[in-house]
């Protein structure tokens, strides 16, 4: 437990622009988030540790409700999920988007209303579908033709399930090739261009126990421009108009997915949500008007933009090594708790915290402790030249796709998550211990 400290030093807002709004500098070099000094969080829970600013998560949920007042906002659970997160999202009035029986079961057993959950997945396992039907999930997004018969059979002739169809609008958008999902040549969705989407829709309409509520598309992730979303609206509404003509079908929902880009480093661009909401609304109204179909209810599915900027990763420096051209600063975490730099070359802006340094900044590469040369957390960043073992480093914008993608590599155990709010820190997820790892290892 900590008391709320008054900030005594003001930093230039630019430097902290990617940090949670609650961030203050108590003394030079000593940052607090949610009223709790980060050095204190590291001391209490050990490192590496993930810190989540509850107020920042809630505020981001509220922003979505505010800028998309008529839309359904679903938080994409894969960005980061734990039981507290489930509560916050529910209390703020959002629905949930899940991709597995695991995410779904965690949410529902925490009290999340199943009818406000949408299940995705390009390859849903029998267990995913069984769990979805057993728990009464709101909608299931069909992503392949073979799923239709499987789902219809599982629902049974007397059952009823709402479904959407994920279509491929044929639009390239997103921060990296590996996170572009709106183009033709990738594994998600059914192509409009090749007619697979239309074919699947006709088959769904033949299944009386499946109720098609709308079309879904997700263009990719870390998109910072509104334009691809407007193009997607035109494509999908074009398909809705043809379905209306051919089948007299009126679909009440259009799900535009997520992918809203955020700034990872000061000066980077984020997607302007107000502009997105306004322009999508206009485009949707105009396109539907021109096609002579009713305007469907919009659904959006932000993940990263809700959780990402609310999280901070804290590490201790274990070693500093000077080689030919580089200074390597090695920390006590790495690619097992944040695989993103290795996967997509993402750049971060780590900061020395807990002490002030009078030294000038020097270019360094922050690396992890894992047995791979590619285990780099932040290449070519600036840290004080006297950075040394025992120092604390904080990596902002660490709330999304870090812990949810964490691995068991080198058996170091996944870090804990602590929430901070109004001067108090509390543990949400404990550190994975050697006992946890040993208890799964049941053979000899
Ligand atoms: C990953 C995903 C999202 C969320 O993406 P973000 O980039 O985190 O906003 C939303 N919908 C679907 C279908 C997804 O796969």
Distance 336 CA to ligand 1 centre (A): 22
- Which of 68, 79, 142, 220 has most ligand 1 atoms within 8 Å of CB, for mutation? 79
Distance 250 CA to ligand 1 centre (A): 26
Distance 303 CA to ligand 1 centre (A): 6
Pocket residues: Cβ below 6 A from ligand 1: 76, 78-79, 97, 120, 218, 221, 257-260, 301-305
- Which of 223, 303, 405 has most ligand 1 atoms within 8 Å of CB, for mutation? 303
- Per-residue pLDDT reduced to its tens digit, 169-212: 988 777 777 777 778 778 899 999 999 999 999 999 999 999 99
Biggest CA–CA distance in the chain, Å, is: 73
pLDDT at 14 exceeding the cut of 50: yes
pLDDT range class, residue 12, cuts 50, 70, 90: low
- Per-residue pLDDT reduced to its tens digit, 146-164: 999 999 999 999 999 999 9
Give CA–CA dist 185/63, Å, rounded.
Answer: 34
Phi, psi values for residue 115, rounded to 5°: -70, -15
- Per-residue pLDDT reduced to its tens digit, 275-333: 999 999 999 999 999 999 999 999 999 999 999 999 999 999 999 999 888 899 999 99
Give CA–CA dist 250/71, Å, rounded.
Answer: 18
**Active-site residue flag, 371:** yes
| Residue 4 pLDDT | 45
| Residue 1 pLDDT | 38
Please report the domains of the chain, with CATH numbers, ordered by start residue: 13-52+312-440 (2.40.37.10), 68-302 (3.20.20.10)
DSSP codes joined into one string, 62-87: HHHHHHSTTSEEEEEGGG---HHHHH
Q: Which of 188, 178, 99 is nearest to 341 (CA)?
A: 178
Minimal-distance CA residue to ligand 1 atom 15: 218
pLDDT at 110 exceeding the cut of 70: yes
| Residue 177 pLDDT | 77
């Amino acid at each position: 437990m900590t008391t709320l400290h008054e900030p005594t030093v003001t930093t230039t807002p630019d430097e902290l622009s990617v940090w949670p709004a609650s961030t203050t500098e108590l003394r030079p070099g000593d940052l607090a988030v949610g009223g709790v000094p980060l050095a204190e969080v590291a001391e209490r829970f050990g490192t590496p540790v993930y810190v989540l600013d509850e107020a920042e998560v809630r505020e981001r949920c509220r922003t979505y409700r505010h800028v998309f007042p008529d839309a359904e906002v679903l938080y994409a659970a894969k960005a980061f999920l734990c039981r507290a997160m489930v509560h916050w999202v529910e209390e703020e009035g959002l629905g949930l988007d899940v991709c597995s029986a695991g995410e779904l079961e965690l949410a529902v057993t925490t009290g999340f209303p199943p009818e406000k959950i949408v299940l995705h997945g390009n390859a849903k396992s029998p267990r995913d579908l069984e769990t979805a039907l057993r728990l009464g999930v709101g909608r299931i997004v069909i992503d392949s033709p073979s799923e239709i018969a499987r789902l219809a059979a599982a629902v049974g002739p007397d059952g009823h399930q709402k479904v959407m169809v994920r279509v491929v609008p044929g639009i390239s958008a997103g921060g990296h090739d590996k996170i572009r999902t709106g183009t033709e040549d990738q594994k998600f969705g059914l192509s409009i261009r090749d007619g697979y989407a239309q074919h699947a829709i006709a088959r769904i309409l033949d299944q009386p126990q499946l109720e098609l509520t709308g079309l879904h598309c997700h263009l990719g992730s870390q998109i910072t421009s509104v334009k691809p979303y407007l193009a997607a609206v035109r494509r999908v509404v074009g398909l809705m108009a043809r379905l209306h003509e051919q089948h007299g079908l009126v679909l009440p929902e259009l799900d535009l997915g997520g992918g809203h880009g955020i700034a990872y480093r000061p000066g980077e661009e984020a997607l302007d949500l107000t502009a997105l909401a306004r322009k999508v609304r206009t485009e949707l109204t105009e396109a539907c008007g021109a096609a002579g179909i009713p305007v469907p209810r919009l659904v959006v599915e932000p993940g990263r933009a809700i959780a990402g900027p609310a999280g901070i990763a804290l590490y201790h420096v274990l070693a500093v090594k000077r080689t030919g051209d580089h200074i390597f600063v090695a920390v006590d975490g790495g690619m097992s708790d944040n695989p993103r730099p290795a996967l997509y070359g993402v750049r971060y802006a780590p900061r020395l915290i807990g002490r002030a340094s009078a030294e000038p900044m020097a270019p360094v590469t922050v690396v992890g402790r894992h047995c791979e040369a590619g285990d780099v957390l932040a290449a070519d960043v600036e840290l004080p030249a006297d950075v040394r073992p025992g120092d604390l480093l904080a990596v902002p914008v660490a709330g999304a796709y870090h812990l949810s993608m964490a691995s068991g590599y080198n058996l170091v155990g996944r870090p804990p998550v602590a929430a901070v709010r109004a001067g108090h820190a509390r543990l949400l997820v404990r550190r994975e211990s050697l006992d946890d790892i040993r208890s799964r290892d049941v053979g000899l």
